A and B are shown apart, each in its own frame.
Chain A
Amino acid sequence: MRRLNAAAAAAVAIGFGLFTLVGLLSGPESGLFYALTTVLLQVAAVTAAASILIGILNLLSVHWTRLKDRRKGWGYSLLLLLSTLLVLALVALERLGVVGGSPTPSSILFESVQVSIESALAGVVFFALVYGAYRMMRRRVSGAGILFTVVLLALLLGSLPLPGLGLLASVRDWLAAVPVSAGARGILLGIALATVVTGVRVLIGQDRSYRE
């Protein structure tokens, strides 16, 4: 039975994968074939969305259990559950027409609290980045570390809107146009090549990690 299931899973992956591949490559001109591919993609997208909901439910259930058992940090869990409930209740009341206005209370909550916390977290990253660069040079001085620091400083100083830094600005522009662009393209091409290899391995049944 286990073997049959494994064979069925491999058949599903290879069959639907190849069907989608041919459908995407043949384009809208192929008519029904392309339409079926679009439906397959939608089914996969909706399945992924439903899986996200299950993930959120799992998060809430983990915190509910922590709260129920009064385990360490249960106060934080309570706050998390109340925050989620607040958003869901606000949106539900808005959809029912009980509360309203423009902007809606849920969007005010999003803009004022959610975006504020996100921005503040992104701002705190600044300290982590500066401290990380300092620690890197303090722990071990190597050729790679020196090159990294020199380029980092050149790019940061070259971005300053101060007079007399024209040469640094030119260096920054050249670095961005040639070596940085080359490195980024090389990394992206490497990722794409690895994606192609992995995709082909899945489609020919060589990679069957979905069985585990």
Chain B
Amino acid sequence: MNLANADTIGLWAGFVFTLMIFSYVLGDNILYRLAVYVFVGLAAGYIVVVTVEGVLLPWLQATMFTAEAGVGEQALGLAPFALTLLLLLKASPRLGNAGAIALAFIVGVGAAVALVGAITGTLLPLASATGGAVQLDVLNGFLLFLGVASTLVYFQYLARRDRAGAVRRSLVVRTVGALGQGVVIITLAALYAGAVLTSLTIFSERVAFILARMTGG
């Protein structure tokens, strides 16, 4: 089988699988489920290939399989696999505690990376951009600042218990929080509209692909 044939078979396979997925519009059915299981199976295969070729083999080549690899490099090369084996022990009720060490390592390193990423990648740039927006355009910049602040207030749940025992937020927090709720609703509506437009674009591309296959284009 030459490559041109493989390409043609691939295009027809794509056509058939697209129709199988679109059959879901009529309700859950066997064709849709077959396509989804093929999708999961192929995805699992590609994940294995990418993980092995993109991460594991380069790591082993850089540590264990170099010409000048000593005991230290070899031990370092094996360390992630030893940690993974420890993680596997988490499934055992008797040896699960040993797995906690590996998990603690990943959680500790991950927490540090997340902390630095959140501060340098989100908190500082967004706070500075929001403050700077007021200088660029006073009215819209102020509205932007108000929107950001009210959104943050909306997501805080500190409250006091009144004399009757009911838990209530203060009037100021409730008012600003209501504004924040409106801002969040508008944001979610915009995200929804973006998702609708994106999926519509992809849907029309798929329909064009089906029509092209059917008309021999």
Taking Cβ atoms with an 8 Å cutoff, the residues of A that contact B are 1-2, 5-6, 8-10, 12-21, 24-25, 39-54, 56, 59-60, 76-77, 79-88, 91, 101-103, 105-106, 108-127, 129-130, 133, 144, 147-149, 151-152, 155-156, 159, 174-193, 195-196, 198-200, 202-203, 209-211
Q: B192 to A56, Cβ gap below 8 A?
A: no
Which of B47, B108, B185 has most A Cβ within 10 Å? B108
The number of chain B residues with a CB under 8 A from chain A is 111
Q: Nearest A residue to B180 by beta-carbon distance?
A: A186
Contacting residue for A43 out of B79, B115, B193, CB 8 A: B79
Q: In the complex, what distance in Å separates the CA atom of A152 from the CA atom of B130?
A: 25
Q: Which residues of A contact B134 (CB under 8 A)?
A: none
Stretch at the interface among B158-166, B167-175, B197-205: B197-205
B109 on the A face (CB < 8 A)? yes
Q: Which 7 pairs from chain A and chain B are nearest by CB?
A: A182-B147, A186-B151, A83-B41, A87-B45, A183-B187, A112-B10, A17-B108
Q: B195 to A125, Cβ gap below 8 A?
A: yes
For the A-B complex with A47-B87, A83-B45, A195-B115 known, give 17 more contacts whose Cβ atoms are closer than 8 Å: A20-B112, A47-B80, A47-B83, A53-B51, A102-B3, A114-B46, A116-B15, A116-B209, A123-B21, A144-B181, A152-B189, A179-B183, A182-B146, A186-B184, A189-B127, A192-B122, A192-B126
A19 to chain B: closest CB distance in Å? 8
Taking Cβ atoms with an 8 Å cutoff, the residues of B that contact A are 3, 6-7, 9-11, 13-15, 17-18, 21-22, 24-25, 33-49, 51-52, 55-56, 59, 76, 79-81, 83-84, 87-88, 97-98, 100-119, 122-123, 126-127, 129-130, 140, 143-152, 154-155, 180-190, 192-193, 195-200, 202-203, 205-207, 209
B91 to chain A: closest CB distance in Å? 10
Contact A183:B147 (CB < 8 A) given known A8-B101, A76-B34: yes
Q: In the complex, what distance in Å separates the CA atom of A122 from the CA atom of B149?
A: 34
Q: In the complex, what distance in Å separates the CA atom of A156 from the CA atom of B59?
A: 48
B136 to chain A: closest CB distance in Å? 11
Q: B10 to A113, Cβ gap below 8 A?
A: yes
Contacting residue for A6 out of B9, B38, B97, CB 8 A: B97
Q: A49 to B55, Cβ gap below 8 A?
A: yes
Q: In the complex, what distance in Å separates the CA atom of A88 from the CA atom of B49?
A: 7
Q: B49 to A20, Cβ gap below 8 A?
A: no
Q: A180 to B105, Cβ gap below 8 A?
A: no
Q: Nearest A residue to B22 by beta-carbon distance?
A: A120
Q: Which residues of A contact B87 (CB under 8 A)?
A: 47, 51, 54
Contact A21:B115 (CB < 8 A) given known A49-B56, A52-B47, A203-B108: yes
Which of A8, A119, A123 has most B Cβ within 10 Å? A123
Q: A151 to B21, Cβ gap below 8 A?
A: no
Contacting residue for B10 out of A8, A45, A111, A211, CB 8 A: A111
